[in-house]
Amino acid sequence: MRAVTISDGELAWATRPDPVPGDTELLVAVRAAGLNAADLLQRRGRYPAPPGVPADIPGLELAGEVVATGARVSRFAPGDAVMALVGGGAQAELAVVDERVAMPVPDGMGWAEAGGFPEAFCTAHDALFRQCGLQLGERVLVTGAAGGVGTAAVQLAAAAGARPVASARNPAAHGILLELGAASAAEPGDALGEGPFDVVVELVGASSLPGVLGALATGARVAVVGVGTGARIELDLLALMARRAAVSGATLRARSVDEKGAVVAAVTRSVLPLAAAGRVRVPLAATVGMDAAPDAYEQFAAGGKIGKIVLVGP
């Protein structure tokens, strides 16, 4: 097969041996694979692949057709359209995925959208519901809301009956964020003015979090998922105590297949029906051929995108 490969920071479209599915795995002919900040970090040598994953093929999510299954696979069969959350290796013609981290592609969802769905929606779901325990009617702030996880978080918060405020530096994103269900969409300073917030999905990092911590309601929960602007902040513990607030952080990639499977199961149960009904979608900033991966990585690094950049198969 051919795959996007990383060698000394250089991307190539190179030939690699076809992967072979284990007992509980699916072999998938990849049709689309979303790009994530983690891929750019990995290219720069700062986010090595976890054990058990191809070390030199990036990609944390994919969609495609099942072409073979391991002996103990029970939920999928050859010909099925699946999407999956993986620890790496997605940006290739073929990938193996454990069936626990695979989901059926909902009716009506195209390949590119499906390839950009798993990482964004699993991350947003884990942040809003597992980390923050989002409740009906709560006031949510999503910072850096224009990207994949941000647009997913806004849609999930709205679907759950919360009131999402979307913060995005790029004014061109505000209209789309309102369409996706944001109660308001504004530049960061103005968005903070709409607080206090019960739940915050922090996708920006050090440049954003101090302001966020000043705009919390009593009992607030902050999930830190992105730290593109830096990862070190000064935390005032007395302010945290006075607000009875909690700050948590999480990444998906390092989790075991079982743990990823638990997130995928929750998303399968609660989000796929919304996707099938057209109530949540994956906004696409761009689709780029896998053999032109360097262009896609450059677009991602340039910033300002609205929604996902997805690599599509040849």
Distance CA 88, CA 83 (A): 14
Is 247 an interacting residue with respect to a second copy (CB under 8 A)?
Answer: yes
> CA geometry: angle at 182 spanning 181 and 186, to 5°?
150
Among the residue ranges 55-63, 96-104, 225-233, 265-273, the one whose residues contact a second copy (CB under 8 A): 225-233
Residues in the chain: 314
Distance CA 308, CA 87 (A): 18
Task: Provide the minimum distance between the beta carbon of 131 and a second copy in the complex, in angstroms, as a whole number.
Answer: 7
Is 265 an interacting residue with respect to a second copy (CB under 8 A)?
Answer: no
| DSSP state letter for 130 | I
* The two structure tokens encoding residue 259: 């743990």
Judged by CB under 8 A, the chain residues 128 through 167 that form the site for a second copy are: 131
303 C-beta neighbours (distance < 10 Å), count = 11
Judged by CB under 8 A, the chain residues 202 through 221 that form the site for a second copy are: 205-206, 209
For a second copy, give the closer residue by CB, 101 or 216.
Answer: 216
List of residues 6+ apart from 210 with CB closer than 8 A:
233, 234
Single-letter amino acid, residue 252: L
CA-wise closest residue to 132 among 101, 156, 166 = 156
Is 41 an interacting residue with respect to a second copy (CB under 8 A)?
Answer: no
Are the CB atoms for 32 and 112 separated by under 8 Å? yes
Is 244 an interacting residue with respect to a second copy (CB under 8 A)?
Answer: yes
Is 251 an interacting residue with respect to a second copy (CB under 8 A)?
Answer: yes
Among the residue ranges 90-98, 150-158, 167-175, 241-249, the one whose residues contact a second copy (CB under 8 A): 241-249
Selected from 77, 231, 265, 277, the binder of a second copy by CB under 8 A is 231
Binding mask 82-101 for a second copy (x = CB under 8 A): --------------------
The burial of 68, by beta-carbon neighbours within 10 Å (0-12 exposed, 13-18 middle, 19 or more buried), is given as: middle
- Residue 115: its H or E element: helix 111-115
Is 105 an interacting residue with respect to a second copy (CB under 8 A)?
Answer: no
Selected from 86, 105, 225, 285, the binder of a second copy by CB under 8 A is 225
Is 224 an interacting residue with respect to a second copy (CB under 8 A)?
Answer: yes
Selected from 51, 241, 302, 314, the binder of a second copy by CB under 8 A is 241
Is 48 an interacting residue with respect to a second copy (CB under 8 A)?
Answer: no
Is 245 an interacting residue with respect to a second copy (CB under 8 A)?
Answer: yes
Are the CB atoms for 265 and 141 separated by under 8 Å? no
Is 104 an interacting residue with respect to a second copy (CB under 8 A)?
Answer: no
Single-letter amino acid, residue 105: V
Among the residue ranges 8-16, 88-96, 243-251, 267-275, the one whose residues contact a second copy (CB under 8 A): 243-251
**List of residues contacting a second copy (CB under 8 A):** 131, 205-206, 209, 224-225, 227, 231-238, 240-251, 254
